[in-house]
Structure 1
Amino acid sequence: MSTGSKSYTGKFIVIEGMEGAGKSSAITIIEKILTEQGIDYINTREPGGTPLAESLRDMVKSVSHDEKLTVETELLLMYASRSQLLANKILPALAAGKWVIGDRHDLSSRAYQGGGRGFDENTMNTIREITLKGFAPDLTLYLDIDPHIGLSRAKARGDLDRIELEQMDFFVRVHNKYRELAAQDQTIITLDATKTMVRVHQDIEKSILAFIAQTNEN
């Protein structure tokens, strides 16, 4: 992993996907594998992951605001939270040789705010460069699921947050952008999250073990 002139011995693995894709289960599997392999790791989530970033998460997710949260504010809060998490948790862990498992990262903003909200690539890239400075995950597992299925699963879990309450056409745009971006990046592995849970878990395990083996060879 590198950003700017700094190099890190740890690895950053991100789990991505829409509501109901099974990210939490995927993270549990990865934790188990890293533990069995004797790899020291930490967990993060986005937005959030540090005290200040969690406060920003509450602003983004809450449905009880007295005023409407603009899409511009949403975009900037997402990257402000990510900047705090990167500087205060992710980079120090990687520098210490730890692996980091991320529940979402920049791909989420590119899909939700870029695809869903309609922010253009130039705007997204400018904010990404300011906040991330070229930093990117070593591996991203994208759990691909039809938004109709995913939202149905999410609703079955309980109350939805502000973004999860968006109309279906929003999630269709998000889904399309996820697929487009995943197809363009060799560090992103797309996994079919509509398979049985056993099959999805097998695919996750296979992908992570292959990545660990590749890392050990380098």
Structure 2
Amino acid sequence: MAGCMHNETQHRYPGRFITLEGGEGVGKSTNLAMVCEFLEARGVEVIKTREPGGTSRSEAIRHLLLDPSEEEPLCDDAELLLVFAARAQHLDRKIRPALARGAWVVCDRFTDATFAYQGGGRGIDASRIERLETFVQQGLQPDLTLLLDMPVDAAQQRVIQRGIERDRFEREHAAFFDAVRHAYLKRASEAPDRFVIIDASRALADVQADIRNCLDTRLASWS
């Protein structure tokens, strides 16, 4: 029976891996679509995906993670392990094969979200997350991470204004999201060559202009 492949300690692929990160309400979905269109217009094969999710089995795990039902509350350790189970499947079935054939993968969240939500928000020690990261990813990291950042209060208002049922994470309290934001900014400060922080509190046109400029710069440096 075929299993997940772990045969490289440091992955080097012809394709590029770009992630968008940020808390709830910062505009990741809208800007993810713009990034994909931007790259496709330059002749790049783009695979748009998300975490948790990206494959049928990983999407099933996503449903478990986001389900707001309190009939059986999900403990923090189960949450963390489910996130990495979905990621292992996603990497094996979608991300690694796409990168290996030279496609560019653009993903709504990746492991930085785990350090932010499960590490910052839930308070799980970073060393435990790092061990799972090493085991599952075997050295694979994004080439570029766009961190959409804005004050928590304003982002939460955006979520409320959507007028749709909030998922299990979106129902968390403001202190949780403050911790998430702080963890994201800490991650960005530790990897400045990979992260670009985008002020997502501004008008969408301004946000997207910054993202396009960033992509133009990176594409020039990668060519």
**TM-score surpassing 0.5?**
yes
Deviation at 1:66, TM superposition (A): 2.5
For 1:1-218, what aligned pairs fall within 5 Å after superposition?
4=9, 6-64=11-69, 66-157=71-162, 158-185=164-191, 186-216=193-223
Structure 1 segments (4+ residues) deviating >4 Å: none
Q: Percent identity?
A: 37
TM-score for the superposition, normalised by structure 2? 0.93
Q: Give the aligned length.
A: 215
**1:166 maps to amino acid:** E
**In the aligned structure 2, how far is the partner of 1:5 from the partner of 1:144?**
30
The 3-state SS of whatever aligns with 1:137 is: coil
1:20–1:151 contact (8 Å) kept in structure 2: yes
The 3-state SS of whatever aligns with 1:47 is: coil
Q: CA RMSD, aligned part only? A: 1.3
**In the aligned structure 2, how far is the partner of 1:104 from the partner of 1:83?**
14
Give a deviation string over 1:145-194, Cα, whole Å, max 9, x none.
Answer: 11111111011112110011111111111111111111111201001001
Give a deviation string over 1:88-146, Cα, whole Å, max 9, x none.
Answer: 10000000100000010000000000000001121111111111112100000000011
**2:176 maps to amino acid:** F
Which structure 2 residue ranges, 5 or more long, are not aligned? 1-7
2:11–2:139 contact (8 Å) kept in structure 1: no
1:29–1:204 contact (8 Å) kept in structure 2: no
TM-score for the superposition, normalised by structure 1? 0.95
**2:97 maps to amino acid:** P
**2:190 maps to amino acid:** Q
**1:187 maps to amino acid:** R
Deviation at 1:7, TM superposition (A): 2.6
